[in-house]
């Protein structure tokens, strides 16, 4: 088929001024339709198209065409935090170099003797606190059984070691002699930053130095317990505990010491001049069920009472058992006094 420009004007007549541009417009529309079909469905939204601006921003799009970064969130880490976070190994090494080496007591107090993890040093006001501290949770007996310390006591390592040695060597065998086993140590008080006897302005207590423990009772596996300050508890058992603690600790305070230790026993390892030790714990007898009558009758086998010396010439007074002296002059009886008659007055 032959085609020429002259014949084309006869086939598609056009009388408008833009007739020569109509084929180009048609081709452009077809290209746009084909491009829209090839565009992904999720990207057909105007908001997702590149360079899309919302209606309010279109007015200033011409003068501010470069997109600006979003403001930094307030909780975003700064550059210093990222630098410290990126090198944790160096921080850990510095902490390890600053930590002191474990003491000889800490190396000796192993898990085979006590469950006593180390805790950081405590430095409070004055001389409160200390170093080489542990949290004594339980004492491990030679047969691997544990004697719980309730609540757990914060102590210096030497005090915790002395307490564990006392439980393993003295307290546990005492329970075995009673036909049972020691299961728990009743901790009344351990570390507390305070003065002696909680008196304001008093000298720092050994409790404030984590060098003391107050014990109320020993509890056994059969459900019974030995209250150390109970008058009704067997005296031989309390005396056995008294002898054992006074031999191990430098200070033992109980009933009869100062009035502040009537319901518990205070133990500590205070250091004094010339190794001076204090053991003040009275083992009281049980109170009588019925109070005795006062005054009590004098027993027959009691020795005679001493009588004060009498002056010379004084006659001894007659006792109830002695008979009156026959030669003694009789004492005259007193005469009755005469009564006066009162005169009556007035009308009868």
As a whole number of Å, the end-to-end CA separation of the chain is 189
Return the pLDDT at 40: 54
Say how far apart CA 270 and CA 209 lie, in whole Å: 10
pLDDT tens for residues 113-140?
999 999 999 998 878 999 999 999 999 9
Write the Ramachandran bin of 275: left for phi over 0, alpha for psi from -120 to 50, otherwise beta. Answer: left
**pLDDT level of residue 70 (50, 70, 90 thresholds):** confident
Distances 265 to 160, 172, 251 between C-alpha atoms, Å: 16, 18, 10
pLDDT tens for residues 139-162?
999 999 999 999 999 999 999 999
Hey, is 92 helix, strand or coil?
helix
Examine the pLDDT at 48 and tell me if it is beyond 80.
no
Which of the two residues, 11 and 174, has the higher pLDDT score? Answer: 174
Q: Are 136 and 116 in contact (CB under 8 A)?
A: yes
Structure token pair of residue 129? 């606190």
- pTM score: 0.57
Examine the pLDDT at 91 and tell me if it is beyond 70.
no
Neighbouring residues of 338: CB distance < 8 A, sequence distance ≥ 6? none
């Amino acid at each position: 088929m032959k085609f020429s420009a002259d014949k084309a004007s006869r086939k598609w007549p056009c009388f408008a001024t833009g007739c020569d541009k109509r084929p180009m417009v048609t081709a452009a529309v077809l290209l746009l339709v084909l491009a829209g079909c090839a565009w992904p469905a999720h990207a057909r939204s105007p908001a997702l198209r590149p360079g899309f601006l919302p209606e309010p921003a279109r007015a200033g799009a011409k003068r501010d065409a470069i997109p600006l970064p979003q403001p930094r969130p307030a909780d975003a880490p700064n550059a210093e935090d990222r630098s410290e976070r990126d090198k944790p190994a160096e921080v850990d090494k510095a902490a390890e170099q600053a930590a002191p080496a474990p003491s000889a007591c800490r190396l000796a107090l192993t898990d085979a003797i006590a469950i006593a993890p180390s805790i950081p040093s405590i430095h409070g006001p004055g001389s409160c606190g200390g170093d080489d501290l542990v949290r004594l949770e339980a004492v491990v007996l030679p047969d691997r059984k544990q004697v719980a310390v309730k609540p757990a006591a914060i102590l210096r390592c030497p005090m915790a070691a002395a307490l564990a040695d006392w439980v393993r060597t003295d307290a546990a065998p005492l329970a075995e002699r009673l036909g049972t086993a020691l299961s728990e140590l009743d901790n009344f008080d351990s570390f507390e930053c305070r003065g002696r006897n909680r008196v304001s302005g008093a000298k720092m207590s050994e409790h404030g130095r984590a060098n003391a423990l107050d014990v109320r009772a020993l509890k056994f596996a059969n459900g019974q317990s030995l209250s150390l300050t109970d008058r009704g508890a067997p005296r031989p058992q309390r005396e056995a505990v008294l002898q054992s603690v006074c031999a191990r600790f430098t200070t033992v305070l109980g009933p009869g010491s100062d009035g502040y230790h009537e319901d518990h026993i205070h133990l500590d390892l205070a250091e004094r001049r010339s190794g001076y030790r204090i053991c003040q714990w009275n083992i009281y007898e049980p109170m009588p069920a019925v109070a005795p009558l006062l005054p009590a009758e004098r027993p027959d086998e009691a020795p005679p009472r001493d009588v004060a010396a009498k002056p010379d010439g004084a006659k001894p007074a007659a006792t109830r058992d002695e008979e009156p002296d026959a030669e003694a002059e009789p004492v005259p009886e007193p005469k009755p006094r005469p009564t006066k008659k009162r005169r009556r007055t007035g009308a009868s």
